[in-house]
Chain A
Amino acid sequence: EPEVTQTPSHQVTQMGQEVILRCVPISNHLYFYWYRQILGQKVEFLVSFYNNEISEKSEIFDDQFSVERPDGSNFTLKIRSTKLEDSAMYFCASSDVPAVETQYFGPGTRLLVL
């Protein structure tokens, strides 16, 4: 069964450093998403991406964040200068059509900012 993959599974970084979280969506999917979940908190939408551009973003997705599809398979989330409050689990998801029901989540990257 096709699945979304994410690397790394865990990342520890120092405050102020840049991090890049990587995702490989399901191959025939065209819509890509990033969500985050701070420990013990709710899952929060960050951004959606289609046709090489951002289609929606939340208030959380400020200038510190960027997304990119650098090649035909990867979808990345970059945090330019990490803060302590960026510590969270980051989930990538992909779908073939823009619908909640068809969004498949990856296993997540746990980011810890020290």
Chain B
Amino acid sequence: QKEVEQNSGPLSVPEGAIASLNCTYSDRVSQSFFWYRQYSGKSPELIMSIYSNGDKEDGRFTAQLNKASQYVSLLIRDSQPSDSATYLCALTSSGGSYIPTFGRGTSLIVHP
């Protein structure tokens, strides 16, 4: 049983700061990791994927993966009020699975 753990928050950061969102997982065979953004009442939107240890940067977003520690994180630089949303961590196991297992998400509030 794959478990994905996230602190539900809310995480509150001031505008312009770095927001750091964390996720741990229990299944060591997990291979692919994803971060989604979900605004209240809306559907999840994929913002980052990461497959190997280390950092992956895309604009203001950086995903970090440490498989040994079973830990994945998302950094949002220069946070904006429009980044206020729930961020969902998700993963798939090995074997070509295309069905993600989601965490409950962390609520992020960026205040002006």
Contacts and interface: CB of A to CB of B under 8 A. Distances in A.
A42 B86 CA distance: 11
Contacts, number: 48
B42 interface: yes
A48 B102 contact: no
Contact of A108 (B43, B46, B88, B99): B43
A33 B104 CA distance: 19
Contacts of B46: 100-101, 103
Contacts of B104: 41-42
Interface residues of A, number: 20
A35 to B, nearest CB: 8
Contacts of A107: 42-43
A43 B98 contact: no
Given A42-B102, A98-B98, 15 more contacts: A33-B99, A42-B105, A43-B88, A43-B102, A45-B99, A48-B98, A95-B98, A100-B46, A100-B49, A100-B99, A101-B34, A106-B43, A107-B43, A108-B42, A108-B43
Interface of B: 4, 32, 34, 42-46, 49, 88, 90, 92, 96, 98-105
22 contacts: A42-B4, A42-B88, A42-B103, A42-B105, A43-B88, A43-B90, A45-B99, A45-B100, A45-B101, A48-B99, A91-B43, A91-B44, A95-B98, A98-B96, A98-B98, A99-B98, A100-B34, A100-B46, A100-B92, A101-B46, A107-B42, A108-B43
